[in-house]
Amino acid sequence: MSTVPVVMAALDSLLTSTLATLLPVEWQVVFGSRNAVTITKNYVAVIEGATGNDALVTMELSRSSEAYLVKIELSGSIAGAGDETLQTVTTNVFAAKTAIEHAVREFPAGPDLGLGASGVLQALPLKGWEYKPKASGDVREALVGFGIQVIAQNT
């Protein structure tokens, strides 16, 4: 049985609690597609999904391992023109990325997000990320995408 559902639920909870500490910026956490819900905040964290692969651990079909990447997209959009507004929204989005990465790395129950009993061996942020600034009219937007690498063993 795949660990993806329990990892996604744990990340949803972790992002919600972590981003709540970044006041005065208010974040909305979305699981799946941003188009599936009504966006009510200027800052949105989307847990987009996972891509990965499975491998047999033994010749027994009941034991396998999986490695996958959970993609997270953080975006902010605020009204205002000019470079200063873009810098503000970019700073807020990168602060959220840093806070999430720290929360995952320093999770109190260990590097498995507390899901060792479910088969998760480790969940760690990848070093790579993608940044996309955008300006249109009087709105400045910033998007940062990054991933959490998960390694698990299923029985």
Q: What is the pLDDT of residues 99-150, one digit of tens each?
A: 999 999 999 888 899 999 899 999 999 989 999 999 888 999 999 999 999 9
* CATH code for position 115: 3.30.2000
> Among residues 74, 85, 76, which one has the least CA distance to residue 42?
76
- Say if residues 53 and 66 touch (Cβ distance below 8 Å): yes
Write down the pTM of the prediction. 0.90
Instruction: With cut-offs at 50, 70 and 90, classify the pLDDT of residue 32.
Output: confident
- Element spanning 27, H or E: strand 27-31
Number of domains in the chain: 1
Domain extent for 148 = 4-154
Query: How confident is the model at residue 13, as a pLDDT?
Result: 95
Residue position matching structure tokens 């840093």 = 98
Q: How far is CA 15 from CA 44, 56, 129, 132, in A?
A: 11, 31, 17, 21
**Token reading at 13:** 């909870």
